[in-house]
Amino acid sequence: MTYKVFIDGRHGTTGLKIDERLAGRADVEVLTIPEDKRKDPAVKAEYINAADVVFLCLPDAASKESVALLAAGNTRTRFLDASTAHRTNPDWVYGLPELHGQRERLRSSQRIAVPGCHATGFILTIAPLVAAGLVPTDYPLTCTSLTGYSGGGKEMIADYEGQGALPDHMLSPRIYALGLGHKHLPEMQALTGIAHAPVFSPVVGPFAQGMLVSVPLLPRLLSGLTPEAVHAELNRYYADEACVKVMPLGGGDVVEAGFLPATRCNDTNRAELFVFGHAGQILLVARFDNLGKGASGAAIQCMNIALGCDELTGLAV
């Protein structure tokens, strides 16, 4: 069977990567709207309603406008929204199939919200521990996330790649969202079940893609929780998952001369989870491609599940 796919926002970073990952698939026909008709609501409505799958790679408001173009009675077309517009909307299914119960919900949903990149790493590490009672819902969590600049979209990519030698202030990693109100916080809280959003510090580095999301834990505030217990629970939770790999306790030989590079999962849909620490401190780290498991790869994984295809079709792990 051939599925018709429309990428609304095809020329953005996520849209381009989805298009790239769909190229060559015999089971997919990508519908291409004429350039001069991209902003014509009537023409866009035709494409949306002709498609089996619509990827929304748009700003939040534009995403909502596109969803409103679905014809009454159309129960065939499935939306996969890469914006933040619907991630905590109860009428949409959150697109992280590795969370227990989500895969079955994705199979039957017409509306899927693709997770944010920072949120993916936080949720993958913390949700199993909260569910198991190892981390209480009121624990004061913090999170730091280092990402490549491609996560900032076309404008940030142009800032880093379009001006020759970088100015001094862009040569080092830069913390942003200093108002402590990052747009991924609502989903980070909702999908882990914690009572309060974490104190979250995102950092953009002078490299194109790759991601490290780190969350520290203090055993003295967690009834003496050990790195071994955390590692065992993550191993149990993700034992049958192809795209989420729990690495050896302490990182094993994946740690390179004492360093953990951010780029080793690039161009894959793999997320690697690490547990470091000792009796006094624990550090959880999720490593993945912010454009892969953090964006377009996750979207295609969800599409595959929703359409009943092999979950890994078109994806490298």
pLDDT tens readout for residues 208-247 = 999 999 999 999 999 999 999 999 999 999 999 999 999 9
**Tell me: the pLDDT tens digits for 88-133?**
999 999 999 999 999 999 999 999 999 999 999 999 999 999 999 9
Q: What is the DSSP letter of 36?
A: G
Q: What is the DSSP string of 44-99?
A: HHHHHHH-SEEEE-S-HHHHHHHHTTSPTT--S-EEEE-SSTTTT-TTSEES-TTS
Domains 3-115+295-307 and 117-290 share a fold: no
Please pick, among 117, 143, 265, 302, the residue that the annotation labels catalytic: 117
Mean pLDDT of 200-210: 97
Instruction: Provide the pLDDT for residue 38.
Output: 86
Annotation marks residue 117 as catalytic: yes
Instruction: Provide the pLDDT for residue 1.
Output: 86
How is domain 117-290 classified at the CATH fold level?
A: Dihydrodipicolinate Reductase; domain 2 (3.30.360)
Q: Using 50, 70 and 90 to split pLDDT, how confident is the model at 164? A: confident
Long-range contacts of 102-105 (CB under 8 A, 24+ apart): 103/305
The answer to whether 80 and 96 are in contact (CB under 8 A) is no
Q: Which residues, other chains included, contact 226 with Cβ-Cβ below 8 Å and sequence gap of 6+?
A: 219, 279, 282
Mean pLDDT of 194-199: 98
Cα–Cα nearest to 289, from 238, 243, 237:
243
Mean pLDDT of 22-27: 92
Instruction: Provide the pLDDT for residue 294.
Output: 98
Q: Which residues, other chains included, contact 244 with Cβ-Cβ below 8 Å and sequence gap of 6+?
A: 98, 124, 238, 270, 271, 273
pTM of the model: 0.97
Instruction: Provide the pLDDT for residue 39.
Output: 85
Domain boundaries, the chain: 3-115+295-307, 117-290
Mean pLDDT of 23-31: 94
What's the whole-number average pLDDT of the chain? 96
CATH number assigned to the domain with residue range 3-115+295-307, chosen from the 4 options 3.40.50.720, 3.30.56.10, 3.30.390.30, 2.40.50.140: 3.40.50.720
Bridge partner residues of 193 (DSSP): none
Instruction: Provide the pLDDT for residue 185.
Output: 98
Q: Using 50, 70 and 90 to split pLDDT, how confident is the model at 163? A: confident
